[in-house]
Amino acid sequence: MAEISTVARPYAEALYEAASKDKESAGSESWSELLSQWAQVVALPDVREAFSDPRLNDEQSIELFIQLTQAELSPSARNFITLLVENGRLLLLPEIARQFIELKNRSEGAAVADITSAFPLEGEELAGLVAALEKRFGLKLKPNVTVDASLIGGVRVAVGDQVLDDSVLARLAQMRNTLAA
């Protein structure tokens, strides 16, 4: 069976291309929000189980999904949901949303920075860290901050496949390896 990311990629790329040309609904920004909402709904275990039920036909699946999202859908959004349901790809929405946002960020010269800190980061402290990271990575960064006390101190930053680990935990591990060598 193909990788989920491989199967989701054509949908994300086609939707991104269409959204970039879509002037009526603010283009890719509104699609990003819509996809994020849909992905959250589909990620729920009960919803995944319901849409995996073979007794549910395509039309019932479409109507159920629209009712679950409780949103007025544009014709293009409804067509996209219909396409996913008819091809048995509705449960791929979380991956499609992730890839769509990645394409959008890439076109804007931006990226998501997953920042894990031993202590909460807010305000000027976070702004200063993001500014330094933007300079280092050469991208406009959108921070996603989480707290992990096991780091003891410092931060771990992941931007795409690049990781910068400046935590006390990482430094202790590095010292342990140096002493053991």
Which of 79, 105, 131 is the last residue before a domain boundary?
A: 105
The DSSP bridge partners found for residue 112 are 142
Asked whether residue 81 falls in the same domain as residue 137, the answer is no
pLDDT (tens digit, 9 = 90+) per residue, 98-130?
999 999 988 989 999 999 999 999 999 999 999
Asked whether residue 25 falls in the same domain as residue 51, the answer is yes
pLDDT for 28: 65
Give the Cβ contact number of residue 150 at 10 Å: 9
Which of 82, 105, 128 is the last residue before a domain boundary?
A: 105
Residue 138 has φ and ψ, to the nearest 5°, of 70, 30
Report which DSSP code applies to 71: -
Asked whether residue 93 falls in the same domain as residue 126, the answer is no
pTM of the model: 0.75
Asked whether residue 86 falls in the same domain as residue 5, the answer is yes
pLDDT for 27: 58
Asked whether residue 39 falls in the same domain as residue 85, the answer is yes
Asked whether residue 124 falls in the same domain as residue 93, the answer is no
User: Which residues form the domain of 101?
Assistant: 1-105
Asked whether residue 140 falls in the same domain as residue 84, the answer is no
Domain count, the chain: 2
pLDDT for 30: 85
C-alpha to C-alpha distance for 91 and 47, rounded to whole angstroms: 9
Asked whether residue 16 falls in the same domain as residue 72, the answer is yes
Asked whether residue 71 falls in the same domain as residue 130, the answer is no
Which of 63, 88, 105 is the last residue before a domain boundary?
A: 105
pLDDT for 72: 82
Asked whether residue 71 falls in the same domain as residue 8, the answer is yes
Give percent of the chain above pLDDT 90. Answer: 78
Asked whether residue 93 falls in the same domain as residue 42, the answer is yes
pLDDT (tens digit, 9 = 90+) per residue, 16-75?
998 888 755 555 678 989 999 999 999 999 999 999 999 999 999 999 999 998 878 889
For the residues of 108-125, what is the DSSP string, one character each?
Answer: HTEEEEEEEESS---HHH
pLDDT for 19: 87
- pLDDT reading at 132 higher than 70: yes
Which pLDDT band, with edges at 50, 70 and 90, does 136 fall under?
very high
